[in-house]
Structure 1
């Protein structure tokens, strides 16, 4: 008599796959929301200080955004595990158009209060967005394809600044935009309208139990029985040794907000628009290179992670050394470059290197976190902690950049110290 072995509890018999339940469809959903909401937000900030003439109000607002975002990211994980990832993603998208509307009123009429109100709503929304989006990107795909799907997600999210940069460049490329100043207010109207579409798209996300992977495995869900238990689990994850050791890396990954001041100090409006558009191609290339390395099956996962880390460190060393050289030159003789001026490429390359290095480290961090657990509920906590700590770093960084530090030496020094850690 032939005995039949019991199937693995994580594998289900073959069933007809529904396209809206596949990992690819769900990667497109979170990618689309990331494209429209934070992607266009990044496009505005790639102009330098959200396209403002002076960076200080917008930097103060962004410090508020990331201060709130840090707490919401961390405590958003228990909420996401209670109300579901789809509704968390929905709530995570609603605050972005309010922020853009505030920038519009400030740009056109000088109104400041809505910038700060928008910063508060965007901070709460963005925290929920990152807590849910990271969990979906890391937990929905089968383990052998995480690097690939992570890259799809990041391509979409980087595509937002790319398209947003094209919009900004199209609206700010006349002769008057050669000089330093602020971008056209029409730019913010377009961004606000587009960002309003993100929330309804978020509702298309499939719940984890309905996701259909190509290999037939199920998404592992081990949610806690109560909110109190969720908070206890969050505390246990937050105090794990490897998480505590990674905190300096989390902070260093996003501390470089000085790039916005660098653009407003040394480039005209249309030069900033061109930089915001074209620098995304370098970011996409960086994402592709790191994801290809991390998904290379010819090498053990642990070795891939080690190689990826040192590759990211090498990129940062090159970027910051070059940045210091150019900054010292600009401190002595501050320029105001248009894209046709001699010397424009030198300054542009500083920004390109900073963004290239940052994106490589971001990919590496998310991949590293994805290897810690296969449980989608725990991944929500991991991604919330990752984004929360990064956000605290950004809040301090934006706060630091609300002052006109002489030659940018103070923020550059802080970034260099974090790199050394």
Structure 2
């Protein structure tokens, strides 16, 4: 009895260290990413938004991204005041209404609900993206930062793998273009509902356990909104931030086009298979990127520079390739592209490189 009582505190302490450790926090972030933008991406890969009228699609996308542009900065500043954990929690609330709107549109054609869902999704994304990115970069030790970031990103892709695998089982016989099975939406909405409870498990910075014994700091000592706003404006004077703006724009520029591209040309099961392949390739790429970032063979400045050159070259070549293929298909339509069609490989390869 006495021996058991002496070991119990140690066991509890070890479990506490694991739960509050940076790797477990990265896993939590990955699962949150899985349930929120991961499911959103899976739906986009299926061309779910492409089932609405074109003018509604354009309005929905504009609303979502304009809200993100305006509110993301505000969410970051508020996060420094109240804690990034709570910003992430808020970021899990608005994806479900958007997915529910896609379901209602597929059944009853209620496209007004999509507009409402676009607003809630935009607000949540404005909070979730900066919140989880700040935690993913700020929580880990410097020596393990690349690994922890890759865990976060890879688990987000793992969510898409699971989601698209479910969709593939449901839609495997849909060898024509058109709507995906309504039951697909119900499964994905159920998964998205797990985001909020997962976010509440995140550790606050002062309770985090790191191997280097340090605690991450997310705000300066003057915890006022005015000070946070000045600090935010100061970031845009940094050369590193200005040089990354083209990459930020390029990475998101084709998102609205890609959903319409898949819905217009590919059958339901072809879109589902494409989404599955994208998720697998993305997860592998994230793990390799994490290994590269934590590599001791090169200086961090050299790693960053060569990573930038690689991404710049890749983005440029993919855009050129896509323009050539799109122009060819505009002149001579490939028809419905199924996974057994000759055009499937080329069409999906472009989409994979985008992602």
Normalization by structure 2: what TM-score? 0.90
Please report how far the alpha carbon of residue 159 of structure 1 lies from its aligned counterpart in structure 2 after TM superposition. 1.5
Give the aligned partner of residue 98 of structure 1. Answer: 97
Give the aligned partner of residue 183 of structure 2. Answer: 186
Q: Output the CA distance in 1 between the equivalents of 2:170 and 2:96.
A: 19
Please report how far the alpha carbon of residue 304 of structure 1 lies from its aligned counterpart in structure 2 after TM superposition. 0.8
Q: Output the CA distance in 1 between the equivalents of 2:58 and 2:158.
A: 24
Deviations 1:241-296 (A, max 9, x none): 43233322211121112222221221111111111112212222322333332221
Q: Output the CA distance in 1 between the equivalents of 2:135 and 2:283.
A: 20
Please report how far the alpha carbon of residue 316 of structure 1 lies from its aligned counterpart in structure 2 after TM superposition. 2.2
CA contact (8 A) 1:293 1:308 kept: no
Within the candidate set 211, 214, 232, 1:214 is matched to 211
Indicate yes or no: 2:45 matched with 1:41: no
CA contact (8 A) 1:337 1:344 kept: yes
Q: Output the CA distance in 2 between the equivalents of 1:130 and 1:272.
A: 26
CA contact (8 A) 2:250 2:315 kept: no
Give the aligned partner of residue 247 of structure 1. Answer: 245
CA contact (8 A) 1:49 1:59 kept: no
Please report how far the alpha carbon of residue 196 of structure 1 lies from its aligned counterpart in structure 2 after TM superposition. 1.2
Indicate yes or no: 2:336 matched with 1:339: no
Q: Output the CA distance in 1 between the equivalents of 2:261 and 2:339.
A: 15
Q: Output the CA distance in 2 between the equivalents of 1:55 and 1:266.
A: 15
Give the aligned partner of residue 9 of structure 2. Answer: none
Give the aligned partner of residue 288 of structure 1. Answer: 287
Give the aligned partner of residue 323 of structure 1. Answer: 322
Equivalent runs, 1:15-414 vs 2, <5 Å? 18-50=17-49, 52=51, 56-174=55-173, 177-223=174-220, 224-257=222-255, 258-335=257-334, 336-355=336-355
Q: Output the CA distance in 1 between the equivalents of 2:218 and 2:80.
A: 10
Normalization by structure 1: what TM-score? 0.76
Give the aligned partner of residue 402 of structure 1. Answer: none
**Comparing 227-236 and 240-249, the one that deviates more:** 240-249
Give the aligned partner of residue 5 of structure 2. Answer: none
Evaluate the alpha carbon distance shift between residue 99 and residue 59 of structure 1 in structure 2; reply closer, same or farther with a 3 A threshold: same
- How many residue pairs get aligned? The number is 340
Give the aligned partner of residue 366 of structure 1. Answer: none
Please report how far the alpha carbon of residue 351 of structure 1 lies from its aligned counterpart in structure 2 after TM superposition. 1.3
SS in 2 for 1:171: helix
CA contact (8 A) 1:48 1:55 kept: no
Please report how far the alpha carbon of residue 48 of structure 1 lies from its aligned counterpart in structure 2 after TM superposition. 2.2
Q: Output the CA distance in 2 between the equivalents of 1:55 and 1:34.
A: 28
Q: Output the CA distance in 2 between the equivalents of 1:112 and 1:66.
A: 18
Evaluate the alpha carbon distance shift between residue 25 and residue 112 of structure 1 in structure 2; reply closer, same or farther with a 3 A threshold: same
Please report how far the alpha carbon of residue 217 of structure 1 lies from its aligned counterpart in structure 2 after TM superposition. 2.4
Evaluate the alpha carbon distance shift between residue 242 and residue 314 of structure 1 in structure 2; reply closer, same or farther with a 3 A threshold: closer
Please report how far the alpha carbon of residue 49 of structure 1 lies from its aligned counterpart in structure 2 after TM superposition. 4.7
Please report how far the alpha carbon of residue 135 of structure 1 lies from its aligned counterpart in structure 2 after TM superposition. 0.6
Moved over 4 A (4+): 14-17, 53-56
CA contact (8 A) 1:55 1:264 kept: no
Please report how far the alpha carbon of residue 182 of structure 1 lies from its aligned counterpart in structure 2 after TM superposition. 1.1
Please report how far the alpha carbon of residue 207 of structure 1 lies from its aligned counterpart in structure 2 after TM superposition. 0.5
Q: Output the CA distance in 1 between the equivalents of 2:92 and 2:213.
A: 31
Q: Output the CA distance in 2 between the equivalents of 1:119 and 1:347.
A: 28
CA contact (8 A) 1:44 1:51 kept: no
Evaluate the alpha carbon distance shift between residue 128 and residue 69 of structure 1 in structure 2; reply closer, same or farther with a 3 A threshold: same
Q: Output the CA distance in 1 between the equivalents of 2:237 and 2:248.
A: 15
Evaluate the alpha carbon distance shift between residue 189 and residue 58 of structure 1 in structure 2; reply closer, same or farther with a 3 A threshold: farther
Deviations 1:315-356 (A, max 9, x none): 22332333233223212211211111222212122212222x
